[in-house]
Amino acid sequence: MPRTMIALVSDQRMQNVIPILQVGARYDELTLVLSKDRRTGKPLDRYVHSADDLKAVLEGNLKVNTCQEWVDPYNIEAVMTVVGSCIQDSGHDDQVVNISGGTKPMAIGALRAAQAAQVPCLYTDTEDNEILWLFPDGSTSSEPIQVVGLDVPLYIRAYGEKVTESKTVADLGAACQTWAEIIGSNHKVIYQQVVVPIMSAIKKAHEEKSGLPIVCSVKPTRRQLGIIEQLAQEGLWEWDQGSGQIAVIKELAIKCLNGFWVEHYVAMQMQRSGFFDDVRLNVELDGVDGEIDVAAVSNGKLVLVECKSNMQRSEQLSKLDSFRRRLGGPYAQSYYARASEAYARPIRAQSKKFGLNGVLFGVQLRDIGSEIGRNLQASPK
């Protein structure tokens, strides 16, 4: 038997995407109901764009229609009439009305129309990670949100943007993963006394245009020596214990030491945590300057992470906030991951100003996946 969903359209797309992709859900047709501007009598452009984006994302799963009668967003009776007509016109016995979108009067009107037609309603509650069901007899039930098939590019497409480039952890290659793992898991021992001096040597070499190799003298402790030798064996650098010099001879190694290891380590830890359906690095959007260092989705929520080694410029936080607002608003969270623990207090203050959901420094990066997962109130997959 064909199953139809009738849904109210708003700026937020996930409340309409999640029920379609919910585990065990099966819908054959979706009808989108748009509100109109009282001055022009036509839908605002942003709602038209929202409907177009939903079609682009969901048409591979089911047939998507747009109701040709637009509703007054504050007229409960008008909404009830239009939604009632949609229910009647579909001709299907198995129907559901999604009241998550639109204004509160729209939700009330849609609920009343569904109850009059003896059709169940649902509401997507992303705060508590559940779908609420409201039945015609007045009873209710809930089920945890568990979506399938929602990855980072699909999520971003639902908000009107297109991913042109991205990487997965598997794309990083064995060497980059190994380097990031060793540095990240030994951060407290090796970062400040070994990695930071090498970063300074790399910066000086670039300024002087001296080229490779880049040499840095260090006086390691016994514990640091073991890690230095391990990274030498893995090809990050060459180590001469007699002279106490580290020589970096590969461009890839320079990129890693200049901060790529932070992005790689964060992405690896997030994937390893099991809280996320998809984790991507270096996400670039069509026609948008800049890139997202790490992006991930978990049960219909988007997570954006800006990763840096040893910088504190506030424009990084501004960029992160801009991406979050553009790609999901209340359905997205943003975090700042920084290898250096210096200037933690002012950075936390700046992050709070921009409304970030968290800042993690140094050794905290080891638990970044589980930390964000708990904030999302998610469960490991």
Mean predicted lDDT score pLDDT of the chain = 93
For the chain, report the end-to-end CA distance as a whole number of angstroms: 32
Q: What's the CATH number for 3-148?
A: 3.40.50.10770
Task: State residue 1's pLDDT score.
Answer: 61
Q: Are strands 121-125 and 358-361 parallel, antiparallel or unpaired?
A: unpaired
Q: Is the pLDDT of residue 230 over 90?
A: yes
What is the percent of the chain with per-residue pLDDT over 70, rounded to a whole number? 98
What Cα–Cα distance (Å) separates residue 17 from each residue in 27, 157, 164, 325, 376?
Answer: 12, 11, 22, 18, 18
Phi, psi of 332 (to 5 degrees): -125, 145
2 against 170, higher pLDDT:
170
CATH topology of domain 174-256: Arc Repressor Mutant, subunit A (1.10.10)
Task: State residue 315's pLDDT score.
Answer: 72
Contacts of 127 (CB under 8 A, 6+ apart): none
Q: Is the pLDDT of residue 256 over 80?
A: yes
Q: What is the pTM of this model?
A: 0.92
Contacts of 204 (CB under 8 A, 6+ apart): none
Task: State residue 311's pLDDT score.
Answer: 55
Q: Is the pLDDT of residue 310 over 90?
A: no
Task: State residue 342's pLDDT score.
Answer: 87
CATH topology of domain 165-171+261-375: Trna Endonuclease; Chain: A, domain 1 (3.40.1350)
- Least confident range from 41-55, 126-140, 158-172, 304-318: namely 304-318
Q: Is the pLDDT of residue 312 over 70?
A: no
Sign of CA dihedral 58, 62, 65, 70: negative
Look at residues 75, 106, 89, 73 and name the one whose alpha carbon lies nearest to residue 31.
Answer: 89
Give the C-alpha separation, 69 to 88, whole Å.
Answer: 14
Look at residues 15, 295, 23, 308 and name the one whose alpha carbon lies nearest to residue 161.
Answer: 295
Mean pLDDT, residues 24-44: 93
Q: Is the pLDDT of residue 164 over 70?
A: yes
Q: What confidence category does residue 240 fall into, taking pLDDT thresholds of 50, 70 and 90?
A: very high
The two most distant CA atoms of the chain are separated, in Å, by: 86
Angle at 218 between CA 213 and CA 219, to 5 degrees: 155
What Cα–Cα distance (Å) separates residue 272 from each residue in 37, 55, 297, 368, 375?
Answer: 47, 33, 14, 10, 17
Give the C-alpha separation, 232 to 47, whole Å.
Answer: 56
Domain boundaries, the chain: 3-148, 165-171+261-375, 174-256
